[in-house]
Amino acid sequence: MCLAQVTRACWGVPFGMSAQALTTTRPREPRRFARGDVLLFPGPADGVWQLLDGLARVQAVDADGNGLTLRYIKPGDFFGEESLVGGTRDYFVEAISGVTVARWRVDELDEALREALLASFARTTAGLYQSLRRWSGKRLKARVAAELLALSDTPLASCDDSGHTVVHVTHDDLAAAVGSVRETVTKLLGELQRAGAIAVGYGKVMLVDPPSLHAVADGAQRGEAAEGAAQNTVPMRNANTPPRLRSLKP
């Protein structure tokens, strides 16, 4: 079955949060944003937000105006968590597709909503750990493969007539998500296409062989460790070998 069909029925359903919880918490009027709109700007925290449908991304921008995607926000996910500790934002949140969001003040959070927040933040933290591991010890090709798989259950994905998942994403957006440049990402997509894992089109990538793409994302290709240094990564330690801990001195 097309990967996009597995979760298409769940789009618009706040994952981890029941309809009763939404009713009892009485969120402010849900707001609709168009693709490309900025939902949040850097600055003082102003409440906790939840994505009800669509897809958004948390993005940091450096002094030269280069963007880096920190994480994707999928239906049911919360963002703006710095409001819980009175902090400030140093990132943007941009709508990748049309989205609907709800917002609560911290003093409006009841027990059901706090439980949903905790579940959402736990998923977010687990995803960030995976991203850090991939960034520190995986080749860039693995990060590109993982990014395509991560987008396969979002509104950016659709199913073609052959039953394959098609991810509608540009090379520039992929580059921003993996911390690279368009030219390098285009080259790596070409390698994945020649290997039969994907088929590249204008503004879209078809996932021809998802298992092979998973193998690349997990670093299971032969010769990966030997090529790690050439890809600007550090060698991975055997997972069964515990690291040597050194005493920390002040």
Stated pTM of the model = 0.65
Beta-carbon contacts of 123 under 8 Å, excluding residues fewer than 6 positions away, are 16, 77
Give pLDDT, residue 87: 78
102/80 Cα distance (integer angstroms): 11
* Contact status, residue 196 vs residue 212, Cβ threshold 8 Å: yes
Average of per-residue pLDDT values in the chain: 77
**Is the model more confident about 144 or about 228?**
144
**Strand 165-167's sheet: what is its strand order?**
157-159, 165-167, 204-207, 198-201
**CA triple 61-66-72, angle to 5 deg:** 60
Is residue 213's pLDDT more than 90?
Answer: yes
Return the minimum-mean-pLDDT range out of 70-79, 121-130, 214-223, 225-234. 225-234
30/100 Cα distance (integer angstroms): 6
* Residue 163, amino acid: G
113/49 Cα distance (integer angstroms): 11
Is 202 strand, coil or helix?
coil
* Contact status, residue 119 vs residue 125, Cβ threshold 8 Å: no
Beta-carbon contacts of 203 under 8 Å, excluding residues fewer than 6 positions away, are 168, 169, 170
Give the residue from 182, 166, 183 showing the smallest Cα distance to 174.
Answer: 182
* Residue 105, amino acid: R
**Is the model more confident about 157 or about 234?**
157
33/172 Cα distance (integer angstroms): 22
Give pLDDT, residue 230: 41
Give pLDDT, residue 171: 93
Domains located in the chain, CATH noted: 10-134 (2.60.120.10), 139-231 (1.10.10.10)
Is residue 167's pLDDT more than 50?
Answer: yes
- C-beta neighbour count of 189 within 10 angstroms: 21
Phi, psi (degrees; rounded to nearest 5) at 179: 75, 40
Q: pLDDT-derived band of residue 136, with 50, 70 and 90 as boundaries?
A: low
Give pLDDT, residue 185: 94
Q: pLDDT-derived band of residue 47, with 50, 70 and 90 as boundaries?
A: confident
Task: For residue 106, give the DSSP letter.
Answer: G
Give pLDDT, residue 168: 92
For 78, the enclosing helix (H) or strand (E) is strand 78-79
Give pLDDT, residue 4: 56
Is residue 225's pLDDT more than 70?
Answer: no
Torsion of CA 189, 7, 79, 144, to 10 degrees: -10
Is residue 232's pLDDT more than 70?
Answer: no
Per-residue model confidence as pLDDT tens digits over 97-132: 899 999 988 888 888 888 888 888 888 888 778 777
